[in-house]
Structure 1
């Protein structure tokens, strides 16, 4: 991989720009942002509560703090700080966030062990809570899960370009207990010397930390769900698999997993291989001239990428992909010419759209500032602005150590900067599907940092439930219930909003009009997926209302087929042109 030349010149003009390091064919820093000193992100939406959620919060408030005990009030990990967070004392937040706890816990039962993970735990506001807890992880590797908290699915949100934090009616803690964890060691406020060399190492350190967390909050016997995005497509399956291996439901009752736009297969499969087809499908967002588009197609044909997609993105799959991918040398390394298809697209679109956001490709100028410093592909912090979690008053409010906080760590969180583990679809992911029969993989249609077709290729190459891939093409409608939440800071869509499909315990959801961070760009869609994961609803292709907004009127029309792009090729039929209906797009009824 090389850093695009225009990106270098643009980034050089901006403050707090990470150093540029050339890479040789591996991919970016996926997940929350920072893509190998070269990207970042941010975007859109939500806050305030509709009446049903307010009623829940009022009932919960009367019951008091459910997890406030001597242990959760007391000192910990050689720190003089407490876990309990004052819900009315969070800087710039002018409402009560409710009960929460934040702090550091060791990754080991040995207090002398070098390594602490920082967390922020939000008990559910549901007045009839279940004995369950959901873990949220951002990716990177090395990107803080607090980005998910403050801009995706936490109780308060501060989206880029907005004036102040707002309440979030789509907060996941309205359904269940949620804990945001900065991991591995070296991420965010988590301290210690990184020693992990693989996902197996990360998982074992996490399990040590998790046991300490469960003991601290007396949550033994709780069902555990795990969720995250991007590089968490590696973290979550390996952690879930390790929990299942423990066969200990007192601490590790792993019951389901939800991962967004996840890293699950080789970088080439999720980036350069489907890239040209992506620009063809979204031609209006990539308005390249004929000569450049012809060059892209020529390079794509030489590398064999479109032919590869047409051969292997079929339902059912004809077999596993070859171990040697197209566009590689004999040793399996991708050639610079083929990798550069992806980066040449990025260079070219930056010329046409200087504010292009690889995490949400429909974004245009102006570049909006972000309290985390990453409003999109570029680092941008205006003069006088501060990174929210690096402020002294915020650190004090959440008992954070006095250290520099970065959204994505500038230091390696894996020894040597390399994760030695195989992609999760070859190892941990199918095991979690088979053991829980409750795994959701969801992908935003407007994400280019990881492409939906690449995720589908990864699924079609994966064996679970004794078979390879989905046997049938995803065409079912993903229906997001309509809602009557009218506060302008928390508007969210409803209706047929993509495509869903379930086989043998795995559900795939393609999501319209969403970029990389689905709970941020499509909060109501993510909320419906969480309801399905937790068993609150039985389907995502039906008109069942939201559990938090049950009286909102729903569609009376037939739903038809799904609408999210599924396969931007002729789907294995050489020489046939793509037709919207043939690819599973709806005849509207």
Structure 2
């Protein structure tokens, strides 16, 4: 979730820590009138309604003498008033050395879906140093406790209803993962993760399983490097990497992801940034002096004219970014916070009040009301999941998870990410339209500066409609509450070329599975090969009875970046 490296340099005065339901574009009555029953699907397994598309929770699949010490009592998770089913949690070392003292902590949920045989997905959050249990508890886990809600509830959008999923806290020093921090680079992180993964596969007898990896934010560095290392190992017994999904990812230089596209982001969302004329004029003047909008107009085009120069605009002679250029980004944040004291850099449409969060960090602010506790730091929760009782859990690590706090690896879009695309032909990059911690056009600039499949960048501008199926069956599930509603319809923009899919998601901030869980669910179905399109009206494979729109979908609706015919605007 968090993007520590950026937030650590925000002014302390802003109080930042380092770390509804959509009915479509037409009134409900009209929308329902336009829907018809879907065509029969080829796989009879896909015709089973969501409510009964589960195996019995009392029939464990992975319980044996090696795994029993990791088994979690599905009815004994604190504050969760239902049985979450089979799961396993605990620590495993990062190497086969019997003297290894460093380990990674995990929570593994076998799938309730019979189509998930011989496959598993790894979920990683970012930071660096932020726990993947944020994703488990507030994005895509079997039970979910969103900030501002009363209690944890069953999550109908849990990814384990599609495939086996493991949430891993990594690198060493993150969450409950203990040991000595020795990583200096993403290559080190990948090597340590591979050691942990071999131990996990051996423990749970998962040799030969297809492996998928997904994550968000700084996992845009973690995931490509780990996936690339898996692929380079040429060992399908343990490292059968088959696809990758990364959300709002760190894939390029900080300046490209943040200050360079800031002015255009503010102009696009002008209603959420109602700045006075003087401040707007200053932003525009500084942007022009720094050459940022001109740079975007030149390099965010389809197809790209070539790679970006080694020296970015707005720099001193030594190549570092000028203070007045970097501060465009920070000044926008400070001005927005002055207007909206509860401004959330992760989802810029958020307004006051700040809602309490059982993880302690709702949005941009650290906030835990008197009497509240951080969920995973509670002794009863630690005991339930076999976590070390002497570790003070925090969503994001207070210490460095890289030696001296520095990750020495180059951005993933230079080598690691292209390698994964070319070897799997199955990579998705998603970006929330309301995210300001990392900007969508920065991600697109990173893609347009990347070489894969013999070409540079996308050759055509993303403009196909990203369609999220309506989900009446899921909505009628007895487990669904107001805490888990999710919309459907045209929900953004999607584009695929040469094994890479980019999808811009409306109504979502930095954490897409949290803000748009139905959209993320469709992404995962596509990654797993359960559906073959995201610009079509095929229903969810776990809710095949829900009718879908019969109207033309038009073009995509999320911010689509610039093109040769639309320079300087979105």
Same fold (TM over 0.5): yes
Name the residue aligned to 1:553: 547
Tell me which residue corresponds to 2:12. Answer: 8
CA drift of 1:113 comes to 1.4
Paired with 2:458 and 2:7, the residues of 1 have a C-alpha distance of: 36
User: Partners of 1:39 and 1:300 in 2: how far apart?
Assistant: 27
1:53 aligns with 2:27: no
Contact 1:7 1:38 in 2 (8 A): no
Deviation at 1:330, TM superposition (A): 2.2
Does residue 228 of the first structure (1) align with residue 215 of the second (2)? yes
The Cα of 1:112 is off from its aligned counterpart by 1.1
1:35-54 counterparts in 2 under 5 A? 38-40=17-19, 52-54=49-51
Aligned to 1:448: 436
Match of 1:281 in 2: 268
Normalised to the residue count of structure 1, the TM-score between the two structures is 0.88
Query: Does the 8 Å CA contact 1:4/1:346 hold for their aligned counterparts?
Result: no
Instruction: Specify which of 60, 64, 88 is matched with residue 65 of structure 1.
Output: 60
1:388 aligns with 2:375: yes
Which residue, 433, 440, 447 being the options, matches 2:421? 433
Counterpart pick for 2:468 among 480, 490, 505: 480
Distance 1:2 1:183 in 2: 19
Q: 1:2 to 1:501 in 2, by over 3 A?
A: closer
Q: Check the 8 A contact 2:10/2:330 in 1, yes or no.
A: no
Paired with 1:286 and 1:39, the residues of 2 have a C-alpha distance of: 23
Return the alpha-carbon distance in structure 2 between the equivalents of residues 432 and 536 of structure 1.
20
Deviations 1:485-543 (A, max 9, x none): 33323210100000000000000000001000000000000000000000000000001
Query: How far is the alpha carbon of 1:54 from its aligned partner?
Result: 3.4
2:130·2:395 contact (CA, 8 Å) conserved in 1?
yes
Question: Counterpart of 1:185 in 2: which secondary structure?
Answer: coil
The verdict on how the C-alpha distance between 1:421 and 1:518 changes in structure 2, with shifts beyond 3 A counting, is: same
Tell me what 1:316 maps to. 303
* Deviation per residue, 1:46-75 (Å, 9 max, x gap): xxxxx9333133x3335x1000000001xx
Pairwise CA distance, 1:8: 3.0
2:179 alignment partner in structure 1: 192
RMSD between aligned residues: 1.8
Structure 2 equivalent of residue 563 of structure 1: 557
Q: Which runs of 5+ in 1 are unaligned?
A: 12-36, 46-50, 74-81, 584-589
Kindly report which structure 2 residues correspond to 1:356-395, keeping only aligned pairs within 5 A, or say none: 356-395=343-382
Match in the other structure for 2:517: 523
Name the counterpart of 1:25: none
Instruction: Name the structure 2 match of 1:345.
Output: 332
1:568-583 alignment runs, 5 A limit: 571-572=563-564, 578=569
Residue 174 of structure 1 is matched in structure 2 by: 161
**Within-5 A mapping of 1:231-270:** 231-270=218-257
What corresponds to 2:279 in structure 1? Answer: 292
Alignment partners' CA distance in 2, 1:424 and 1:534: 23
Deviation, 1:6, is 10
SS at match of 1:236: helix
In structure 2, relative to structure 1, the CA distance for the partners of 1:6 and 1:461 (3 Å cut) is: closer
Hey, what does 1:539 align to over in structure 2? 533
**Cα distance in 2 between the residues matched to 1:391 and 1:97:** 19
* 1:416 counterpart SS class: helix
Equivalent-residue separation in structure 1 for 2:49 and 2:399 (angstroms): 44
Give the superposition deviation at 1:7: 5.9
Q: Does the aligned pair in 2 maintain the 1:53–1:174 contact within 8 Å?
A: no
Matched, 1:92 2:79: yes
Residue 494 of structure 2 aligns to a residue whose secondary structure is strand
- Paired with 1:577 and 1:305, the residues of 2 have a C-alpha distance of 10
C-alpha distance in 1, partners of 2:362/2:559? 26
Give the C-alpha shift of residue 4 in structure 1. Answer: 11
Distance in 1 between the 2:358 and 2:285 partners?
42
1:513 aligns to what?
507
Instruction: Provide the C-alpha distance between the structure 2 equivalents of 1:2 and 1:136, rounded to a whole number of angstroms.
Output: 22
Distance 2:101 2:128 in 1: 20
TM-score, normalization by structure 2: 0.91
